[in-house]
Chain A
Amino acid sequence: KEKHKILHRLLQNSSSPVDL
C-alpha cells in the first residue's frame, strides 16, 4: 500500500462523506 500514495491522499482529503 506504500506505493499508492496519491490514492491514499485523495481518500484522506475530506469532502463531506455520507454515512448510513
Chain B
Amino acid sequence: EPHRKQASCSAQEENKVVTLLLGAEPEKVCAMPDPALPDSDIKALTTLCDLADRELVLNISWAKHIPGFSSLGLSDQMSLLQSAWMEILILRVAFRSLLCEDKLVFAEDYIMDAEQAESAGLLELHKAILQLVRRYRSMRLEREEFVTLKAIALANSDSMHIEDVEAVQGLQDSLHEALLDYECVHHSEDPRRTGKLIMTLPLLRQTSTKAVRHFCSIKQDGRVPMHKLFLELLDANV
C-alpha cells in the first residue's frame, strides 16, 4: 500500500480515477426559457426547476460512472443521491460561474445577476452560491479538482440510511486518495490544497440545505410547475 501511494505521486502516472471522472462529465444543458411566457418570478422559477430536473437525470447517470459507485447496493446508491443531489447541482453552477463576476451561470443561455435573482425571490440563495464561487475562484479551482470534489460530495453526503457503511467509506477513501494524488502531482507547491478544497464542503452543504428549503416552500405554494424527479428528490430531503 505505501509503495503504491509513493508510485502514484509522480507526474508520469496518470490519475485513473480523475481521468474517468473527467470522461463522465455530463454534457451541457440549455435552459430554454419559454419565449411565450412574460417575464415574471414564476417564469424564472419554472425555468430553473425544469433545468434542474433535466440536469438531475444526467447527474444520476454521471453517478453511475464514478468508479466504485455502481458496486454499492442500490439502496445505498439511492440514499447518497437523495442526500447530495442539490449539492451536485450547486457545485456545477458554481464551477460554471467561475469566469463570470457576480453572476450565476445556471446555463449558457441562463445567466442570472443579483437584480434578476431578487425579482425571482432568490437573492439569498444567489448570494450564498456566489460566496462559494468566490472561494473557488480565489483558489483557481481546476476542472480535475471540480469533478473529483463533486464525486466526494456525493460519497460524503452523510445520509442516515446507509446500509453498508464500510462500502461507502471505501468509496470516500478511493476518491479522497485520487484527489490527494492529483494535488501531489499538480500542486506540490501547496501541500494544504486538498484540505482547502475539502474545507469548502461545509459551505456547499449549508447552501444546498438553504436551496432545498427554499424550493420546498415554492413547491408548497403550488404556483410553479415542477417535474416528477425534482419533486421526488425534494420530498426525499424533507
Name A residues whose Cβ lies closer than 8 Å to a Cβ of B: 1, 3-8, 10-13, 15-20
Contacts and interface: CB of A to CB of B under 8 A. Distances in A.
Contact of B64 (A1, A3, A17, A20): A17
Interface of B: 20, 57, 60-61, 63-71, 74-75, 77-78, 81-82, 174, 228-229, 232-233, 235-236
Nearest to B75: A1
Contact of B233 (A7, A8, A18): A7
A7 B77 CA distance: 10
A13 B68 CA distance: 17
B74 A11 contact: yes
B78 A7 contact: yes
Contacts, number: 58
B58 to A, nearest CB: 10
A8 B64 contact: no
A3 B234 CA distance: 12
Contact of B67 (A5, A11, A16, A19): A19
Given A4-B78, A6-B229, A7-B78, A19 B68 contact: yes
A1 B174 contact: no
B60 A10 contact: yes
A18 B64 CA distance: 7
Nearest to A19: B71
A18 B71 CA distance: 8
A18 B60 contact: no
